[in-house]
Amino acid sequence: MPDFQPKTIQKLFIANRGEIACRTIRTCWEIGIRTVVGYSDCDALSYHVKLSDEAVHLGPSPAMLSYMDIGKVVDAARKTGCDAVFPGYGFLSENPEFARACRDAGLIFIGPTSEVIARMGDKIATKKALADAGVPIIPGLPKATSAEQLIAFGNDAGWPIMIKAVAGGGGRGMHRLDSADQAGAALERAVSASRKLFGSDEVYAEKYIRGARHIEFQFIADAYGGVIHLGDRECSIQRRHQKLVEEAPSSLLDDRLRNEMGRVVVKAAKEIGYVTAGTLEFLVAPDLRYYAIEVNPRIQVEHTVTEMIVGLDIIRMMIRMAVGTPLRFRQEEIRIGGHAIQCRVNAEDPRNDFAPSYGTVTYLRQVSGPFVRADSGILQGSEIPPFYDSLISKICSVGKDRPTAIERMRRALSEFNIWGVKTTIPLLKKIMVHPDFVSGRFDTDFIDEHLDELLDYVEDEDEILKISRFIAEITALGKNPYCR
Amino acid sequence: MTIHPKKSPRENVAALRSDRRVYFTNTGPRDTGQSDFKNRHTLYDLIRLAPLYNRSGYFSIENHGGARFHQNLLQNMTDPFEEARLWKDRMPDVMTQTLVRSTNLWGYRMYPRNVIRLSVKAFLPYVDVWRCFDFLNYVPNMIPIAEEVTRGGKLFQPAISFGVSDDCTDAYYLNVTGEILGMTGGTEAIILCIKDMAGVGSPARIARLTDALLQKYPDLVIQYHRHATDGLAVPALAAAAKAGVKILDVTDDPFTRYYGHAPVRAVQALLTEMGIETSLDIPMVDQAAGEIAGFIGHYQEFESQFRGFSYQVTEHRMPGGAFPSSFEQADKGGFLPLMPYILRGMSTGNRFIKYFDVTPGSQITWTTWAGIIQYHYKEGGLKQVEDLLDLCGRFIANGRSPEDLKQEEKDILFGLYARATDDLKNLLLGKYGPLPFGWPADWVYQSVFGEAWREKIAKDRFEASPLARKPDEEIGRLREELQKKIERHPTEDELVLYLQHPGAAVDFIRFRTRFGDTSALPTGVWFDGLKEAGSEVTFETHGKPNTIKLISIGQEMDGVKHVVLSVNSTMHVFPVEMPSRKAARKAGPRFADPDVPGQVASPLMGNVWRIGDKDRLLKIGDIVKEGEEIVNIEAMKVETAVLSPIHGVIKEIAVKLNEAVVGKQLLMVLEELPPEDLKRNRRSKSGRKAR
Tell me if the domain spanning B9-302 has CATH number 1.10.8.60: no
Test B530 with A463 for CB contact under 8 angstroms.
no
Please give, rounded to a whole number of angstroms, the shortest distance from the CA of A90 to a CA of chain B. Answer: 13
pLDDT in tens, A153-207: 999 988 999 998 887 766 677 888 988 888 888 888 888 888 888 888 889 898 9
Alpha carbons B195 and B187: distance in angstroms, whole number: 18
pLDDT of residue A458: 82
Chain B residue numbers with beta carbons less than 8 Å from the beta carbon of A390 are 636
Task: Please name the helix (run of DSSP H) or strand (run of DSSP E) that holds residue B435, with its range, or none.
Answer: none
Test A390 with B603 for CB contact under 8 angstroms.
no
pLDDT in tens, B18-34: 999 999 999 999 999 99
Q: Which fold has domain B530-588?
A: pyruvate carboxylase f1077a mutant fold (3.10.600)
Q: What share of chain B is helix, strand, coil (3-state, %, to 5)?
A: 45, 20, 35
Chain A interface mutation, best of B572, B607, B683, highest count of A Cβ atoms under 10 Å:
B572
CB nearest to B528's CB, from A387, A464, A474: A474
Q: Does B488 touch chain A (CB under 8 A)?
A: yes
Q: Which of A319, A272, A283 is nearest to A299 (CA)?
A: A319
> Domain locations in chain B?
9-302, 333-469, 530-588, 590-690
User: Are B502 and B494 contacting, i.e. CB atoms less than 8 angstroms apart?
Assistant: no
Chain B (86-145) residues lying within 8 Å, Cβ to Cβ, of chain A:
none
pLDDT of residue B586: 57
pLDDT of residue B637: 66
Test B576 with A387 for CB contact under 8 angstroms.
no
Chain B (572-631) residues lying within 8 Å, Cβ to Cβ, of chain A:
572-574, 576, 578-579, 603-607
Task: Please name the helix (run of DSSP H) or strand (run of DSSP E) that holds residue B631, with its range, or none.
Answer: strand B629-635
User: Are A424 and A459 contacting, i.e. CB atoms less than 8 angstroms apart?
Assistant: no
Question: Which residue would you say has higher pLDDT here, B614 or A49?
Answer: A49
Three-class secondary structure assignment of B273-316: HCCCCECCCHHHHHHHHHHHHHHHHHHHHHCCCCCCCCCCHHHH
Test B578 with A477 for CB contact under 8 angstroms.
yes
Chain A interface mutation, best of B636, B661, B685, highest count of A Cβ atoms under 10 Å:
B636
Domains of chain A: 11-110 (3.40.50.20), 139-207 (3.30.1490.20), 213-454 (3.30.470.20)
Neighbours of A457 (CB within 10 A): 16
Q: Does B660 touch chain A (CB under 8 A)?
A: no
Test B516 with A476 for CB contact under 8 angstroms.
no
Stated length of chain A? 484
pLDDT of residue B610: 87
Torsion, Cα of B184, B185, B186, B187 (10° steps): -40
Residues of A recognised as catalytic: 298
Cα B24 versus chain centre, distance: 25
pLDDT in tens, B57-67: 999 999 999 99
Q: How far is CA B478 from CA B69, B89, B145, in A?
A: 20, 31, 22
pLDDT of residue A326: 95
The set of residues, in sequence order, having a beta carbon less than 8 Å from that of B227 and lying 6+ positions away, is B35, B196, B197, B198, B199, B233, B259, B260, B261, B319, B320, B321
- Chain A nearest-CA residue for B40: A483
ipTM of predicted assembly, 2 dp: 0.82
Q: Which of B265, B268, B267, B220 is nearest to B244 (CA)?
A: B220
Task: Please name the helix (run of DSSP H) or strand (run of DSSP E) that holds residue B152, with its range, or none.
Answer: none
CB nearest to A363's CB, from B570, B607, B638: B570
Question: Which residue would you say has higher pLDDT here, B549 or A145?
Answer: B549
Test B517 with A463 for CB contact under 8 angstroms.
yes
pLDDT of residue A382: 93
Test B567 with A172 for CB contact under 8 angstroms.
no
pLDDT of residue A5: 55
Alpha carbons A373 and A305: distance in angstroms, whole number: 10
pLDDT of residue B401: 78
Alpha carbons B417 and B430: distance in angstroms, whole number: 17
Phi/psi region, residue B569 (left: phi>0; alpha: psi -120 to 50; beta: rest), is left
pLDDT of A1 strictly over 60: no
Please give, rounded to a whole number of angstroms, the shortest distance from the CA of B578 to a CA of chain A. Answer: 7
Chain B residue numbers with beta carbons less than 8 Å from the beta carbon of A65 are none
Which residues of chain B carry a pLDDT beneath 50?
677-691
Test B573 with A474 for CB contact under 8 angstroms.
no
Considering only the C-alpha atoms of chain B, give the largest distance between any 2 of them, rounded to a whole number of Å. 97
Please give, rounded to a whole number of angstroms, the shortest distance from the CA of B631 to a CA of chain A. Answer: 16
pLDDT of A6 strictly over 70: no
CATH, range B590-690: 2.40.50.100
Torsion, Cα of B299, B302, B306, B312 (10° steps): -90
Q: What is the SS3 assignment for B114?
A: helix
pLDDT of residue B603: 87
Test B636 with A386 for CB contact under 8 angstroms.
yes
Q: Does B186 touch chain A (CB under 8 A)?
A: no
CA geometry: angle A374, A376, A379, nearest 5 deg: 120
pLDDT of residue A197: 80
Averaged confidence pLDDT in chain A: 93
Chain B interface mutation, best of A366, A474, A479, highest count of B Cβ atoms under 10 Å:
A474
Test A471 with B570 for CB contact under 8 angstroms.
no
Stated length of chain B? 691
Q: How far is CA B391 from CA B25, B384, B387, B413, B415, in A?
A: 44, 10, 6, 8, 13
Q: What is the mean pLDDT of residues A400-427?
A: 96
**Gyration radius from chain A CA atoms:** 23
User: Are A123 and A129 contacting, i.e. CB atoms less than 8 angstroms apart?
Assistant: no
pLDDT of residue B366: 94
